[in-house]
Amino acid sequence: VVQTGPQIIRDSKVQSEEIHNSINGMGQHARTAFASVDGVEHYVIVARKTLLKPGMNLEELGHVLLETGIFVGNLNVVNFDGGSSTSLYLKDHPELSFHSGRKILPLLLGVK
């Protein structure tokens, strides 16, 4: 079971109405999202919260992802979760891992 929603970007367009109608879409939090480009390339995205930046709302995240130019093709992004449960652990490169300071929960993500 994975907590998701709302969709941040659908067909390369930020879903402002869906974000504004969600419970925490406009809050400033750390964020975890899943992105798909043309249904072929898949990415897990983590937007950190720092002392200088209190996090970001989902509308901001959507615009940042579109403006970077990193994703070429039809982009779709869905929000996974945010706040203190946001984490990413890389077994082979733990120095690149991000977590909120609490114990990192195990995560299994399968992509086909």
Going by C-alpha positions, the residue among 110, 111, 46 that lies closest to residue 83 is 46
Given a contact cutoff of 8 angstroms between Cβ atoms, the answer to whether 71 and 53 are in contact is no
Residues written for the chain: 112
C-alpha 88, offset from chain centre: 11
Q: Residue 31: which of 5, 12, 13, 10 has the closest Cα? A: 5
Each residue's pLDDT expressed in tens, for the chain with a length of 112 residues: 455 679 999 999 999 999 999 988 999 988 888 899 999 999 888 887 777 778 889 999 999 999 998 899 999 999 987 766 666 666 776 666 665 555 444 444 545 5
> Six-digit token pair at 104?
């990192």
Query: What's the pLDDT score for residue 97?
Result: 65
What is the reported pLDDT for 44?
84
